[in-house]
Amino acid sequence: MESYEKLLEEAYAKVKVVRAGGERFEMPKLESQIVGKNTIVSNLAQVAGILRRDINQLARFLQKELSLPSKIENNRLVIIGKVSSGKLNEKLALYVEEFVKCAVCKKVDTELVSEKGIKFKHCLACGAKSPVKYHF
């Protein structure tokens, strides 16, 4: 027999799931393939488009995080070195956290703005402006 607290907990968990579903953001996934000694990310442009971020900035971020040189070729990212898809998407999640997600309402409808040399995420959903802490 389940305790009342446990049932309550489950009920809350269900409510949370439903609420999250209402403002669902489907995290894009980087698709990659290891070719020889390189890793080719085939959908970098699409992912940057979904996140409304500059493909070059996203590429530079990945390059720094992975500590591997890379270049953009035909909207694909060619990383010099072997990187697993799991690791790439881990870095993408970090990018979204740092550069896309609103620090206040956690939505991803934001734009990057620069004021006096400081980068801010300006949230189009709640209007909050939060500084980007990550620098590269």
Query: Residue 128 CB, nearest distance to Zn ion (Å)?
Result: 5
Binding mask 65-104 for Zn ion (x = CB under 5 A): -------------------------------------x-x
Task: Note whether 128 binds Zn ion by CB under 5 A.
Answer: yes
Under rule CB under 5 A, how many of the chain's residues touch Zn ion?
A: 7
What sign has the CA pseudo-torsion 35, 46, 16, 106?
Answer: positive
Task: Note whether 123 binds Zn ion by CB under 5 A.
Answer: yes
| Residues in contact with 94: Cβ distance below 8 Å, sequence separation at least 6, in sequence order | 65
3-state helix, strand, coil in the chain (%, to 5): 40, 25, 35
CB 102 within 8 A of CB 125: yes
- Nearer of residues 47 and 102 to Zn ion, judged by Cβ: 102
Tokens at 11, concatenated: 């009920």
3 DSSP assignment: -
Query: Residue 102 CB, nearest distance to Zn ion (Å)?
Result: 3
Residues that bind Zn ion (CB under 5 A): 102, 104-105, 123, 125-126, 128
